[in-house]
Amino acid sequence: MTLFALVLATLLQQPRDESPWNKEESSRPANLFSRSKEKGNSVARYEVFLTEDAEADLGEIAEYIEFHDSAERSDHVFEKISESILKLESLPGRGRVVPELREVSVTEYREIVNKPYRILYFVSGKKVIVHGSFDGRRGIEELLSRRILR
């Protein structure tokens, strides 16, 4: 068994956070989540959840950009990633199967890309569980390895 396969197996066995992503309690500005949840259409709705790791990833991305660029740029990137995550409420199947995981026969995890960031999630019933967000210029192996060491 390769190290990647071992890390992946451990990740998949970790308990999943069942707390809905409370956009209003996010540490980011509230106006980033002002989008109405209901738009009067009949599209099936899914509930979006973020694991603690996914929340931490978003915070780390925002902090990194704020430190190396500006608070405005950080807020802009956070808003774009958040919009992508919120779209999963109505379009959870829009993402692709994660290519690196498909290579090891794991097809239940999907991703959406908001360049350069990749948002890793899976769908379970009417729930979408976001497992992580990471810089797509880095390999998913690095993200999974960090999960094991946390």
Strand partners, 48: 128
* CATH-assigned architecture of domain 43-149: 2-Layer Sandwich (3.30)
Tokens representing 108?
Answer: 């239940």
Residue 14 has pLDDT above 80, yes or no: no
Answer whether residue 125 shows pLDDT above 80: yes
First to last CA, the chain: 22
For helices 71-86 and 52-68, give the axis angle rounded to 10 degrees.
Answer: 150
Q: Which helix (H) or strand (E) holds 80?
A: helix 71-86
Q: Is the pTM of this model over 0.75?
A: no
Cα 90 to Cα 60: distance, rounded to the nearest angstrom = 27
Which of 31-38's residues contact partners 24+ apart within 8 Å by CB, and which partners? 32/75, 32/78, 32/79, 32/82, 33/82, 33/86, 35/83, 35/86, 37/89
- Which tens digits make up the pLDDT trace of 96-108? 998 888 888 888 9
Phi-psi region of 74 (alpha: psi -120 to 50; beta: other; left: phi over 0): alpha
Average pLDDT for the chain: 76
Q: Which has more pLDDT, 41 or 60? A: 60
At residue 90, does pLDDT exceed 70?
yes
Task: Measure the CA–CA gap between 126 and 133, rounded to whole angstroms.
Answer: 21
Q: CB under 8 Å to 92, separation ≥6 — which residues?
A: 46, 110, 121, 123, 128
Domains in the chain: boundaries: 43-149
Whether the predicted pLDDT of 124 surpasses 50:
yes
Percent of the chain at pLDDT > 70 equals: 66
Question: What does the pLDDT read at residue 150?
Answer: 59
27 pLDDT band, cuts 50/70/90, is very low
pLDDT the model gives residue 139: 75
Specify whether the CB–CB gap between 53 and 80 falls below 8 A. Answer: no
Q: Which pLDDT value is given to residue 23?
A: 47
| Residue 112 pLDDT class (50, 70, 90 cuts) | very high
